[in-house]
Amino acid sequence: MSSGTFAVLGLYSEAEKIVDAANQIRPHKLGRLEAYTPYPVHGLDRAIGLEPSRLGRLVMLMGVMGAGLALLFEWWVSAVDYPLVTSGKPLFSWQAFVPVMFEVTVLFATFTAGMAMLFALNKLPFFGHPVLHSKAIKDITRDKLALSIEATSAAFDVEAAHQALIDSGAESVEIVPVPTWDRPLSLVGLLRTIAAIVAACVVAGAGLYAAEKLMPIVPPMIHMEDQPKLNAFRESSFFPDGRGMRPAVAGTVARGHLPPAFATPEEAGTLLSNPLPLIQAIAERGRKVFGDHCAICHGTVGNGVPLLSRAYGGKPGNFLSNEIRARPDGHYFGVLMLGKNAMPSYAADLDNDDRWAAVHYIRILQRAQNAKDEDLP
C-alpha cells in the first residue's frame, strides 16, 4: 500500500493555520512538504522549506551571455565576415551594436526565465498531477488550503504523516495514491494529434483562401507608392510646365555631350582619332559597353549574328568583314553618334569615353577573331 502512495493531504481553512502547521511538521522530516492554496499565502514558502528560486541567477547569467554573444556576433558579421563601411563609421561601431545587444539580452533573459521556470523548475511537461485526481481538489480550488506530505522514499510512513497532519489541526486528511498513467504516446493519441494538425491546416488554409477571395485587399501602407517624387516620364506638378523630365537650360550643353563636328561617319573617320590609351581598364570598360549596348545585335564576338535575331530579324554589320575592319576608328565613333541604316544613334545613351572604349573593344574583337600566328598560345 505504501508504495502506491503519492502524498498525504491535509486541508485547512485559514492561511495562518496552514503556515503554523507547516512550521510544526517541517522538523519531523516525514517527506517533502508541498502546499496547494487558492491564493498566495505570505510566509508559506519559508514554512514549507522552499529555497529561494535559482531562476534569477540563471536569467542574469543568460542575459549577460546574450549581450556578449550579440556583441561577438555583430563584431564578427560587420568587422570580419562581411566588412562593409556604413556611412563612414568604423567597422566595429559598438554604438550601433547596443540596440541589438539589448534586444538579444532581453530575448535570452525572458526565454530563460520562461523556459527554465516551466521545464527545469516546474518540471513540465507532465500530463496530470496526482493531486488533481484527489477528492480534495474541489475544495482546494475554492476556499481550502492544503498541505501535502509527499512520499520521497519507499520508507515513507503514511500513518505518521496522517497523524502529524491531524495533530497540526487539519480539518480532514486524504491519502493520494500514485495514479496509473496512460501511455503518453498512445496510437490513438498520435492519430488524434495528426488529425488535429491536418484539421487545423485545412481550417486555416480555407480561412485564408476565403479571406483572400471575399475580403477586399487593403494595401497595408501606400505612402511608398504615392510619394511625391520626380519621375522622368510622368507629369509633375512641381514645375510650372508640368514636365517631370527637365530640358537642358537654354544655350547649354551637357558635359560630354557636345554636338558632333561631323556630318557623316566617313567624315568622322577622317577627322577623329581614339584619344583613349588601350590599357586593361579601358578594355574592360569597352567590354562592358559593348556587352550592354552592342552585343545584342552585333553578337558577342562582333560577327553580326544577333542574339535577338528572331525578334528583330535584322542583319547588323559584321565587324569581322574586311570591309568594316578597314575603317578607321573615327568611323565607328561616327556611326555610334549618328547611327547607320537601321542602327539608331547612341549619342544620348553613352558618353564619349564609353564610345571610344567600345571602339577599342571592337578592335580587340577583330584581333581575337583574326589573330596573328604568334598570338596563338
Partner 1 sequence: MSDEQSTPTTWGSEAKGLANRFALGSGVAVTFLLFGLIVVPALLRERRPLPRPPSDQPAAASVGWLDQAETPASKGRDLPPVDPATVMTPNPKLLARGEVLFKQNCTSCHGESGQGNGPAAGTLNPRPRNFTQPADWKRGFHVADIFTTISTGVKGTGMAAFDFIMPADRMALVHYVRSLGGFDHGAEDPKALQALADQFRSKGFHIPNRIPVSLAIKKMVTEQAMVPPLQLRPAEDKSASAELLRFAIVDPFRAARTVAATTNRGDLSTVARAWAAGAPDNGFAPAAAGLNAAEWSEIVRALVGRREEARQP
Partner 2 sequence: MSAASVHSSLVRNLLGAMTFIGAAGSAGVYFSVGRERFWVNWLVWTLFLLTLGLGNLFLVALERLVGAHWSVPMRRVPERIASLIPLAIVLLLVAFFGVPVIFPWTYPAAAHNPILVAKTPWLNLPFFAIRLAVCATVWMLFYRFYVRGSLRQDVSKDPVFTVRARRLAPLFMVVFFFSVTILAFDWISGLEPEWYSDMLGVYLFAGTFISGIAAMLVGVLALRRGGRLPEVQAKHVYNLGTLGLAFTVFFAYIGFAQYLLIWYANLPEEVIWFKHRIEGAWQPVALLLPLLNFFIPFFLLIGGLGKKHPATLRIAAFSILLGHFVDLYWLIFPVLGPVPLFGWPELAMACFFLGLGWLQIRRAMGRGADMPVGDPLLVKGLEWQL
Region of residue 245 (phi > 0: left; psi between -120 and 50: alpha; otherwise: beta): beta
Angle at CA of residue 137, ends 136 and 141, nearest 5° = 125
**Of residues 341, 294, 344, 339, the one with CA closest to residue 319:** 294
What is d(CA 122, CA 239) in angstroms, rounded to the nearest whole number? 70
- Per CB under 8 A, does 296 bind partner 1? no
Binding mask 256-295 for partner 1 (x = CB under 8 A): --x-xxx-----x-xxxxxxxxxxx--xx--x--------
Please return the burial class of 282, using the count of CB atoms within 10 Å of its CB with bins 0-12, 13-18 and 19+. middle
Contact at 8 Å (CB) between 317 and 326? no
Residues 183-212 that bind partner 1 (CB under 8 A): 183, 185-187, 190
Near partner 2 by CB under 8 A, which window of 28-36, 93-101, 196-204, 335-343? Answer: 93-101
- Per CB under 8 A, does 252 bind partner 1? no
Q: Which is nearer to partner 2, 65 or 283 (CB)?
A: 65
What is d(CA 342, CA 244) in angstroms, rounded to the nearest whole number? 30
Least distance in angstroms from the C-beta of 53 to partner 2: 9
Contact at 8 Å (CB) between 12 and 143? no
Binding mask 24-63 for partner 2 (x = CB under 8 A): ------------------x---------x---xx--x---
Q: Beta strands of 123-238 (E only): which ranges?
A: 145-150, 172-177
Q: Which is nearer to partner 1, 50 or 342 (CB)?
A: 342
Near partner 2 by CB under 8 A, which window of 89-97, 193-201, 235-243, 306-314? Answer: 89-97
- Per CB under 8 A, does 300 bind partner 1? yes
**Of residues 340, 308, 314, the one with CA closest to residue 327:** 340
| Single residue of 230, 342, 345, 349 touching partner 1 by CB under 8 A | 342
Residue type present at position 135: K
Contact at 8 Å (CB) between 351 and 257? yes
Residue type present at position 84: L
Number of residues that bind partner 2 (CB under 8 A): 12
What is d(CA 340, CA 370) in angstroms, rounded to the nearest whole number? 25
- Per CB under 8 A, does 376 bind partner 1? yes
Residues 150-169 that bind partner 1 (CB under 8 A): none
- Per CB under 8 A, does 114 bind partner 2? no
**Which residues of this chain interact with partner 1, rule CB under 8 A?**
4, 180, 183, 185-187, 190, 258, 260-262, 268, 270-280, 283-284, 287, 299-301, 303, 312-315, 317-318, 320-324, 341-342, 352-353, 356, 363-365, 367-373, 375-377
**Which residues of this chain interact with partner 2, rule CB under 8 A?**
42, 52, 56-57, 60, 87-89, 95-96, 98-99
